[in-house]
A = this chain, B = another copy of it.
Amino acid sequence: MIKEVVAGVDIGGTNTIFGLVEKTGKIVSEGNLTTTDYPEINRFVSALVNAINKLLSRKSGYKLTGIGIGAPNANYHKGTIELAPNLAWKGIVPLAGLIRKKISVPVVLTNDANAAAMGEMIFGGAKKMKDFIVLTLGTGLGSGIVINGQVVYGHTGFAGELGHTIIVPGGRDCGCGRQGCFETYASASGLVKTVLYLLSEMRDESILRDIPPVKLTSRMIAEAASKKDPVALEAMDFTAEHLAFGIINAIGFSSPEAVFLFGGLARAGDMLFVPVRKYVEQNVQPIFRGTVKILPSGISESNAAVLGAAALIWNEQNR
């Protein structure tokens, strides 16, 4: 019997990874390309389609029924990548259309946080949920919002930019040109900024004073916190309070059943989740108290990007 399979593709600034995924979430085979090897988009498309076809030809008994793609600045409505600062392809790139010219299956494109949310719903911890939010806490803060079982794309196709909602008016400078954005506080890089701020405010000794700021990482800070370093502990608490603050405003908007935390900063585990839960319950509008779970992702981080992208297609075929 021929089994249906979809390709999940995650395009990053440096690497593009992809895999063939069954409806159950089983990854049948995987591959990767170096994104920076293809500064010309048509060559990238050819290489990607060839690589997917090669994966298919090596496994018998599979039929490709769609390609789901997670990519920075991806526009779901138009199937384009638009003005992505970390990719060589400039302007507006009609990626879905270019791929469909080479291989006639449905192609769906969205940003990586929206793909992560879809992965959570189809394969992860949100299988029975219709209203939830996924926050990806990496260098920046990405968000995928699901309402009524649908990812929110909005009128422009770029909805779900919680990382750039402003939580501290006049606060930290953000790469978007404004100040006080959520991601400048609640992300791996936000945690580093918070340590630098606290090193200026606190008199306590700290192993973090020995590390040049440019080399400081969220992982080092989490390790220091696990060893009870006072500055690192305070930084985790400060970060949790600010993360909770942004979550609280999102709860007021869409009243989700759960908020999933994902990515580098979420690896801190209970050191982050325990105070975030505390601050959310303490500071959320009373009508929402006790209604929202703060959870780790139900998908292992190594598979998340490919599964999330594949879920984009499986979701559309489930309708």
Contact = CB atoms under 8 A, between A and B. Distances in A.
Interface string A257-288: 10000000000000000000000000101111
A154 B147 contact: yes
Nearest to A249: B165
A168 interface: yes
B130 A248 contact: no
A38 interface: no
Given A145-B253, A152-B254, A254-B152, A158 B248 contact: no
Contacts of A148: 147-148, 150, 152
B165 A168 contact: no
B164 A285 contact: yes
Contact of A178 (B156, B161, B285): B285
A2 interface: no
B145 A152 contact: no
Interface residues of A, number: 44
Contacts of A165: 248-249, 252-253
A90 to B, nearest CB: 16
A149 to B, nearest CB: 10
A178 B250 CA distance: 16
A56 to B, nearest CB: 34
A318 B113 CA distance: 33
A254 B285 contact: no
B252 A285 contact: no
Interface in A209-249: 245, 248-249
A154 B256 contact: yes
A261 to B, nearest CB: 18
Nearest to A168: B169
Interface in A10-69: none
Contacts of A154: 131, 147, 254-256
A161 B285 contact: yes
Contacts of A166: 245, 248-249
A159 interface: yes
A176 interface: yes
B161 A252 contact: yes
Contact of A160 (B160, B168, B177, B253): B253
A89 interface: no
Contacts of A288: 156, 158, 161
A152 B159 contact: no
A292 B161 CA distance: 15
A104 interface: no
A71 interface: no
Given A156-B291, A161-B253, A165-B253, 13 more contacts: A145-B254, A148-B150, A148-B152, A152-B254, A152-B255, A153-B255, A154-B255, A160-B254, A161-B287, A162-B253, A165-B248, A178-B285, A253-B254
